[in-house]
């Protein structure tokens, strides 16, 4: 497990991923709206469920998710114990359930089994 050595790695992950993969160009945000909708939907549901409406916690959750995805791409596993808190944990789970293929494949398989069961 790779420990995040300093706070700057955590803070700079957004810039690092933007350099590697690019950013959404101004004026083309609507092209990506359909891709962002599951993330927004999960965050809104989580915010309503927990009553936590703190933008700073959502930003932390986004950075943790970016580091998680970066870890998948590079074969690393990060230790988020310094950064993961009860305030941002639910937001992290909400984002990862929307974008992380390692988490959603199992759910997709379960959904297919449930639909087959009810179609009988």
The 10s digit of each residue's pLDDT in 33-92 is: 888 898 999 999 999 998 888 888 999 999 999 888 888 888 888 888 888 888 899 999
Predicted confidence at residue 62, as pLDDT, reads 92
The total number of structural domains in the chain stands at: 1
In this model, does residue 106 exceed pLDDT 90? no
Q: pTM of the full predicted structure?
A: 0.75
Report the C-alpha gap between 65 and 33 in whole angstroms. 19
Report, as an integer, the average pLDDT of 4-28. Answer: 83
Copy the structure tokens of residue 96: 């990862």
More confident residue, 81 or 106: 81
Copy the structure tokens of residue 17: 């991923």
In this model, does residue 30 exceed pLDDT 80? yes
Tell me which residue range forms the domain holding 63. Answer: 2-119
Is 65:95 a contact under the CB 8 Å cutoff? yes
């Amino acid at each position: 497990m790779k420990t995040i050595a300093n706070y700057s790695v955590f803070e700079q992950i957004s810039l690092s991923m933007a350099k590697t993969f690019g950013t959404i160009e101004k004026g083309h945000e609507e092209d990506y709206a359909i891709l962002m909708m599951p993330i927004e939907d999960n965050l809104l549901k989580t915010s309503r469920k927990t009553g936590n409406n703190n933008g700073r916690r959502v930003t932390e959750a986004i950075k943790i998710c970016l580091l998680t995805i970066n870890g998948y791409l590079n074969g690393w596993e990060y230790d988020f114990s310094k950064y993961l808190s009860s305030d941002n944990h639910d937001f992290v789970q909400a984002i990862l359930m929307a974008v992380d293929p390692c988490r959603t494949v199992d759910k997709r398989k379960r959904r297919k089994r449930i639909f087959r069961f009810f179609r009988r």
